[in-house]
Chain A
Amino acid sequence: MSEPGLFTFPFMQHAFLGCFLVSLLAGSLGWFMLLRRQAFAAHALPHIGFSGAAAAVWLHLPPLTGMMAASMMGGLFMGQEKQGRGHPAQRDTMTGLILAASLGIGVWCLHEANEASSQTTTLLFGDVLGLDMPTLGLLAGLVAICLAGLAVLWRPLLFISLSPSLAEAQGLSSTRLGQLFLLLAALASAACAEIAGALLCFSLMIGPASAALKLGLSPARGILCSVLGALLLSWGGLILSWYSDIPLPFWISLGGVNLYLLASLIMKRRARQKTPLRTIRNPSCSPVSDGKREA
């Protein structure tokens, strides 16, 4: 008898659909996060969300609700950024402090909950094979909200991310835009954590986006490339984990690094093609040097 295929089981169909939805978010918002040098925030948001999920478990609420609430609150605080000379360092300090505080609260909540170790494991490592239709509906809603929000923010966000001095001179507020963007990123990271878990969901946001940025593509093309990369990682990871029995986050995180290495190779190759190696010519064969000698 032949072995049943990947798509025979409804849970695998749900998993592929979930990965598709999450890739749309991870690719687009991840690109903006890297552009804005917020890789640390991308790492911190799902961890902050994890604490909220732990609190939700304790209060007998759906973990995803707690995760969204906590990561959005974290995003709001982290968005309290001001442009200035020490700006990136200050922002990282703020992110680190919020992360540390939220993890402390998360540990306390888990201690108080005292019963949900399987749920905790699910939150940390994701449960892509456990996605049901209501969760997929919720994910689709989150994706729609985040993408619509990103479309509305597109121009001012791109302007302030690429030319902060000029954007502020035209009256844009980096703090307000930063907060709005991090609210979207918080929602996106909560959605990604459903698939890849809080520990590794940022790898889906960072890996493909870093490769797209390395390729030096324009924003629209870069985001398209990043979304396709995220789709490749998540769908490819699902297929590989089906055959290898190794968890999906492993394939996603390793695949992200490989995507970046591939992009680096492409760029090196392009650079080599643009600037061909100059060969040291024999002076006697050079018409210029001949002319000079004759003169």
Chain B
Amino acid sequence: MKKAHLACHDVSFQVGRHLILNHATLDLPLKGLTILRGRNGAGKTCFLRALMGLLPIQGGTLLINNLPPAKARHHCGYMPQRADETAPMLPVISHVMACLKGTCWGLPHPGRTRRKTEQLLAEVDALPLADRPLGVLSGGERQRVALAQALANSPGLLILDEPFAALDHKSHDALLQLFTRLHQQKGMNLLITAHGSLSTKDLPLPVRDITLREGALHV
């Protein structure tokens, strides 16, 4: 089982004039599924972006696995709330292949990369979508492809922003089952944001809620 740990020490974080964390402190093992909750506009997305090193914090220390976000992000998979739609005409498999070791220089090994990509797509039940253009997928299908992209490079921690948005009830359950599978089979831990109710009671993995409220993180 991979280990993931979140530590905030006296963190002050604001975006523009919007204060998100005000000297917040939290020390929390991210085991299983951790759900970050908060009202609309509380700053959940911004907090996740700060964890990925995309937004700077103004004060304090923010650590994932005892590493600052800029270093820890190489071991994290990230799925933004709105997936990129820059090249909708290209097939799904090309989009996922581009994420595999995408930060390395040079040309990839085509055969090996394709096999690994097909494995990733199979893990999220999206292999039949491999040759379809990204732009024709439904919301749920696009979500699964985005998850495959986040899973590239075998991260220890998956950070998913509103993965249940635009999904129907059946797809909710399927996604929760997939989270369970990822945790049990691959040892991955998940930190997700959600503002609706989730039926996580019967899930065979540890589930914990954190709430972002009035500049503090409440467990």
Residues of A near any B CB (own CB < 8 A)? 35, 37, 151-156, 158-172, 213-214, 216-220, 222
Q: Is the CB of A163 within 8 A of B149?
A: yes
The reply to whether the CB of B179 lies closer than 8 angstroms to some CB of chain A is no
Complex formed: what's the CA distance from A158 to B107 in Å? 10
Main secondary structure on A side of the interface with B: helix
Nearest CB in chain A: distance from B22 CB, A: 25
Residues in chain A near residue B13, CB distance under 8 A: none
Residues of chain B in range 88-122 having any CB-CB distance to chain A below 8 Å: 89-91, 93-95, 97-99, 101-108, 110
Q: Is the CB of B99 within 8 A of A159?
A: yes
For residue B93, which residue of chain A has the nearest CB?
A: A218
Q: Is the CB of A169 within 8 A of B73?
A: yes
The reply to whether the CB of B87 lies closer than 8 angstroms to some CB of chain A is yes
Complex formed: what's the CA distance from A161 to B87 in Å? 8
Complex formed: what's the CA distance from A159 to B95 in Å? 8
Q: Is the CB of B91 within 8 A of A171?
A: no
For residue A215, which residue of chain B has the nearest CB?
A: B89
Once A165-B80, A219-B94 are accepted as A-B contacts, the answer to whether A155 and B87 lie under 8 Å apart by CB is: no
Interface centre among A159, A214, A217 (most CB of B within 10 A): A159
Q: Is the CB of B106 within 8 A of A151?
A: yes
Q: Is the CB of B102 within 8 A of A159?
A: yes
- What are the 9 closest A-B residue pairs judged by CB atoms, nearest first? A159-B102, A169-B78, A169-B52, A218-B94, A162-B98, A165-B80, A216-B89, A158-B98, A159-B98
Complex formed: what's the CA distance from A164 to B8 in Å? 27
Other-chain contact of B102, A37, A155, A220 (Cβ < 8 Å): A155
Q: Is the CB of A154 within 8 A of B93?
A: no
Q: Is the CB of B108 within 8 A of A162?
A: no
A-B contact pairs, 29 of them (CB 8 A): A35-B86, A35-B87, A151-B106, A152-B105, A153-B105, A155-B98, A155-B101, A155-B106, A156-B102, A161-B98, A162-B84, A162-B87, A165-B84, A166-B78, A166-B80, A166-B99, A166-B102, A166-B150, A169-B52, A169-B54, A169-B78, A169-B80, A170-B73, A171-B103, A213-B89, A216-B90, A218-B90, A219-B98, A220-B110
Q: Is the CB of A216 within 8 A of B133?
A: yes
Complex formed: what's the CA distance from A37 to B86 in Å? 9
Nearest CB in chain A: distance from B128 CB, A: 14
Complex formed: what's the CA distance from A151 to B91 in Å? 21
